[in-house]
Amino acid sequence: MGVRRRVVVDAAALLILQLCCCCIIALARAAAATMPSATDIVGDVGERQQQEVGAKYRDPRQPLNARVDDLLRRMTLAEKIGQMSQIDRENATAGVISKYFIGSVLRGGGRVPAAGAPPEAWVEMVEEIQRAAVSSTRLGIPVMFGIDAVHGHGYVYKATVFPHNVGLGCTRDPELARKIGAAVALEVRATGIPFIFAPCLAVCRDPRWGRCYESFSEHPELVQNMTSIVSGFQGEIPATGRLGTPYVAGQRNVAACAKHYVGDGGTTRGINENNTVATFHDLLGIHMRPYYTAAIRGVSTIMVSYSSWNGVKMHANRFLITDFLKTRLRFRGFVLSDWLGLDRITSPEHADYLLSIKLGILAGIDMVMIPYRYTEFIDDLTLLVQNGTIPLSRIDDAVRRILRVKFTMGLFDNPYADTSLVGELGKQEHRDLAREAVRKSLVLLKNGKPGAKPLLPLPKKPSYGRSVLVAGSHGDDLGSQCGGWTITWQGQTGNNLTAGTTILDGIKRAVVPGTDVVYSENPDAGFVQQNKARFDYAIVVVGEPPYAETHGDNLNLTIPAPGPDVIRNVCGSIRCVVVLVSGRPLVVEPFIDAMDALVAAWLPGTEGQGVSDVLFGDYGFTGKLSRTWFRSVDQLPMNVGDAHYDPLFPFGFGLETQPSTY
């Protein structure tokens, strides 16, 4: 872990401070107990809102800055701190929103309106929260509802799930990324949600990191190029617009969030939330570059990383957040903490929350993701402002940025969903786009043994009287194809989580009707030996189980069992192509001689037919590695340009094939 700075405080002074804090908080709570109930407050809201009818901030004809200034000067400290608070939708009741003036709500992992909920149910959930903000608070400031959408609107049943970023990077196609961003925005808006926590702009320098599949590449320039997805999410800034300021085109687009600022892909040994050791020059040249481009494209928000830079927690790094991002890069959106990000400034977590809030807010964090302990955050931040620890000017800067984004999104003028968009969720046009992305993301690493003809593309009609064998745990598993951040945070295996096409489904549709396709998840050596004359060729589909973040950190990167045995048993006796479904390169050198062909399929998402499209030659292989494929984990970290560069397959490698003419 990173070096941690110790704050030494005189014991007596600390005791006095704690007693003072306790007294102030107790007095505040006692005062709150004598306040009118939420029902009484709501009863007065209509009258108070009437007083604001002629206010500039309510007039869409007014310039943006005039609206922001007008609203900000009307706000109390409680209303400002409420805008800085982002809570979990589980706690976002009408009473909580009206009492604490909550500015943002997020959908945390696993919490949905109901299992398999249609888009209409999501719309109603979001609008119930929005009605509380717009109708039950004095100023009627709308809530900004956010959700993770790292490879499509993955938490929603029947949404289109696109390949994860590691695969998209292999397409080398910024225009495709932009189209995907626009499609995802429509599917998110179909559920009434205007804000997403995407894209991840990490430059993953070590595949042992559990988030490496969320990174487009190890190369900063390629990640920069793929920030075109921001323009897809938010819309292209018009020619008359101003580059570098937050921009959202309208209700068919969403506010995006570039994450995780900065250096999260460079931690020691790829351990999640660990320390990134780098000079400032290297930080700028490798990890910061995608943020320059995202800011120019008008990204609305930036999320801070859990990781540290040279021992300093990013959530407490004033130099990088305020001095560099806000001042030098002139970022005009707002900065968001990660989930319980302030709590993790101290070790153990939440050990000194007052200190954490002080460090995080003074560092420049504008909105704080506090899913559950929001009252503690609000009370403590109020105390820190009232006692002068945090100046009101810092609060005003944060709220100004939040309001600027909300006005830019059009939330004040159109706070509710456009219900005509519900049909956008999972529509065929988006699935076709995802299928195209799968085809272009596949990387052909081997095609034919020495002295033999290439195996790919496969014939759609096997030799007379023969069958096709499909083997491996990932051949018929939609959940494994999609990976993490799908329906649940960590993802899950199986075919019951959402709608889509497995790789096996795609193979059955690709071959000539009547072809016998045999599927065996884990065929043993005896089965293969007894039946090898029956099969013309085999398609072995193996890989990693779904995972996300820390759960995916892996120091050995071997193909999980029983994958190696399946490869040995099948490829030792039958001509085979191995399709590897994974979020990163894995150790394949021990098995590669036995394979006739090897395809890196990454995490293709719901449209498994994109894999069969290329295996059978309807389209050629075009993908190029966005990551170096190592020989052994002992070489890691190893990236293109390193002095000790000795990969199995180098960055940019990828064999090509032509479409079949049959």
**Is the pLDDT reported for residue 258 higher than 70?**
yes
Name beta bridge partners: 607. Answer: 501
pLDDT of residue 307: 98
**What domains can you pick out in the chain, each with its CATH number?**
76-409 (3.20.20.300), 442-649 (3.40.50.1700)
- Smallest CA-to-CA distance from 347 within 305, 306, 303 is with 306
Active site residue 549: yes
Note if 413 is an active site residue.
no
pLDDT band at 53 (very low <50, low <70, confident <90, very high): low
Output the DSSP codes for 164-203.
PHHHHHHHT-HHHHHHHHHHHHHHHHTTT--EE---B--B
Q: What single string gives the DSSP state of each residue in 557-593?
A: -BPPTTHHHHHHHHHTTS-EEEEEE-SS--B-TTTGG
pLDDT at 12 over 50: no
In the three-class reduction of DSSP (H, G, I as helix; E, B as strand; rest coil), residue 148 is classed as coil
Please give the pLDDT value at position 2.
39
Residue 31 pLDDT > 50 = no
Contacting residues for 31 by C-beta, under 8 A, at least 6 apart: none
* Nearest alpha-carbon partner for 411 in 253, 210, 590, 614: 253
Is the model's pLDDT at 96 over the cut of 50? yes
Summary mean pLDDT of the chain = 93
What is the reported pLDDT for 50? 59
Q: Exposed, middle or buried by CB within 10 Å (0-12, 13-18, 19+), for 3?
A: exposed
The encoded tokens of residue 586 equal: 């894995």
β-sheet bridge partners, residue 20:
none
Q: Whole-angstrom Cα distance, residue 219 to residue 628? A: 10
* C-alpha to C-alpha distance for 203 and 216, rounded to whole angstroms: 7
Catalytic, out of 79, 148, 218, 338: 338
Predicted local confidence at residue 661, as pLDDT: 77
Report, as an integer, the average pLDDT of 74-94: 97
Choose, from 264, 549, 553, 607, the residue flagged as catalytic: 549
Nearest to 367 by CA among 326, 345, 334: 334
Q: How many helices (H) and strands (E) does the chain have?
A: 22, 17
Angstrom distance (rounded) from CA 98 to CA 85: 13
Identify the three-state secondary structure at position 399. helix
Over residues 108-152, the pLDDT tens digits come to 754 689 889 999 999 999 999 999 999 999 999 999 999 999 999
pLDDT above 50 (res 26):
no
Residue 43 scores a pLDDT above 50: no
CA dihedral (626, 632, 633, 634) in degrees, to 10, reads: -130
- Token readout for 480 is 């494994």
Task: Dihedral sign for Cα 565, 570, 572, 576, please.
Answer: negative
Q: Is the dihedral of CA 49, 55, 61, 66 positive or negative?
A: negative
Question: Using the 8-state DSSP alphabet, how is residue 629 labeled?
Answer: B
pLDDT in tens, 313-323: 999 999 999 99
Query: Averaged over 209-222, what is the pLDDT?
Result: 98
Q: What is the pLDDT of residue 1?
A: 37
Q: Are 260 and 303 in contact (CB under 8 A)?
A: yes
Q: What is the rounded distance in angstroms from the CA atom of residue 613 to the CA atom of residue 298?
A: 36
Share of the chain above pLDDT 90, in %: 90
pLDDT tens digit string along 356-375?
A: 999 999 999 999 999 999 99
Does residue 458 register a pLDDT over 50? Answer: yes
Measure Cα distances from 119 to 50, 81, 195, 419, 655 in Å: 34, 32, 16, 9, 41
